[in-house]
Amino acid sequence: MFIWLLKRLITILISPYITLRSIFFNKPSFKYSEPFKSVDFSIMMDRIDDQYSTRFVLPKSVLEDLIHELKSEKYHRIFKDFNIKNPFVNYVVLYETRTLSELDANKSIYANHWHTDDSLDVGSLKIFQLPKTISPSEGPMEFINKENTKLNWKKFFFRGRFLSYKSQIFNYTQSNKALFLDARSCMHKAGVPENDNKRTMLMLQIIDRKKNENIDELYNKQYHKEPTALKRLFI
């Protein structure tokens, strides 16, 4: 609990203006919106393989198209709903998750335990897009709303395999919708594919910043793990 509180306190202190701006703003837990039309998921430059997952490196042209579509009128309303005035794409990753072995089935390998993204910037938002509609056996991402997340926090549950408070669990399975999720306020976890299945998904981390994206920097970030406010502070 102490580490959880410390992470959230530090990120609040890093962004006092955005924290103050959000105090009286009742943003949603999540929303579905139109899918991205500009992404060709078959185009990739490189891949980074781990035992149970792979990150695919998208070319700069795809990143540019993504940013252009994201900042078009198409998504203007939904960013307003999440109190983001200046959407800035801080990270893009296209990744694949695979079945865990029996030995590792209960371990947290690729964020497959319930958690919140406490070290992200205050006011950040995550967007997810599936390249195809998936079945439960392919390990869809699971999440709960912020009200049920708070009820779990009240039971001193902050991270782990099983929720402490019985909650409605949502699964993201449909490729005809993009999922916009407040990952700091909503517990979520990666589903684990069954029977040697696998799941591919695109994730974008959005923060509120008056700045244009540097495509070279965004491209190079794909070779590294997701950036956070705490990493930016201490590195």
For residue 3, what pLDDT is reported? Answer: 86
Rounded to 5 degrees, φ, ψ at 83 are 65, 35
What are the residue ranges spanned by the domains of the chain? 2-234
Using DSSP, state whether 231 is helix, strand or coil.
helix
Percent of the chain scoring above 90 in pLDDT? 83
Give the whole-angstrom CA distance, residue 223 versus residue 201. 16
β-partners of residue 216 are none
For residue 235, what pLDDT is reported? Answer: 57
Judged by average pLDDT, the poorest of 22-31, 71-80, 135-144, 153-162 is: 22-31
Right CATH for 2-234 from 2.60.120, 3.40.50, 1.10.357, 1.10.3470: 2.60.120
pLDDT in tens, 104-133: 999 999 999 999 999 999 999 999 999 999
Give the whole-angstrom CA distance, residue 113 versus residue 115. 6
Q: What is the pTM of this model?
A: 0.95
Q: Nearest Cα to 183, choosing from 226, 136, 123?
A: 123
Rounded to 5 degrees, φ, ψ at 81 are -60, -35
- 130 touches 173 (CB < 8 A): yes
- The per-residue DSSP string of 163-213 comes to -SS----EEE--TTSEEEE-TTTS-EEPPPP-TT-EEEEEEEEEEE-SS--
Confidence of residue 208 (pLDDT cuts 50, 70, 90): very high
Strands ordered across the beta sheet of 46-49: 30-33, 178-181, 125-129, 198-208, 87-98, 53-57, 46-49
- 97 touches 52 (CB < 8 A): yes
pLDDT in tens, 25-53: 899 999 999 999 877 778 878 999 999 99
